[in-house]
Amino acid sequence: DTGVSQNPRHKITKRGQNVTFRCDPISEHNRLYWYRQTLGQGPEFLTYFQNEAQLEKSRLLSDRFSAERPKGSFSTLEIQRTEQGDSAMYLCASQGQVLNTGELFFGEGSRLTVL
């Protein structure tokens, strides 16, 4: 296993379209996180899963955003009716539970551009 994988790496879409990002975490990691990063800012927490359960969602996450992790392995993040303000880098990170030290392992991100 080479790490956290995200795809697509880049997505350009028109306003109002739906987009979906996929994250494949490190296989033995049971926690999975989604963050959003805009230019000049640090990663902003969106949501996280422990196995298939979504345990927390940021209040900043509008109802146009939905995330799933159906079998406790890969996860998808869907944005419906995209807006220009959704343009950002969407980061996925995974985290192990055994001897958990809090370290997050990040993918390279999926960059969304909404025209």
> Which residues here bind another protein, judged by CB under 8 A?
4, 31, 33, 35, 40-45, 48, 55-56, 91, 93, 95, 100-104, 106-109
Of the pair 34, 79, the CB lying nearest another protein is at: 34
Nearest partner of 90 among 32, 15, 35, judged by Cα: 35
- Closest CB to another protein among 82 and 110? 110
Return the SS3 of 85: helix
**Residue 58: CB minimum distance to another protein, A:** 9
Shortest Å, Cβ 106 to another protein: 4
CB of 55 to another protein, least distance (A): 8
Query: Where do the DSSP E strands lie in the chain?
Result: 5-7, 10-13, 19-24, 31-37, 44-50, 53-57, 65-68, 75-79, 88-95, 105-106, 110-114
C-beta of 42 vs 70, nearer to another protein: 42
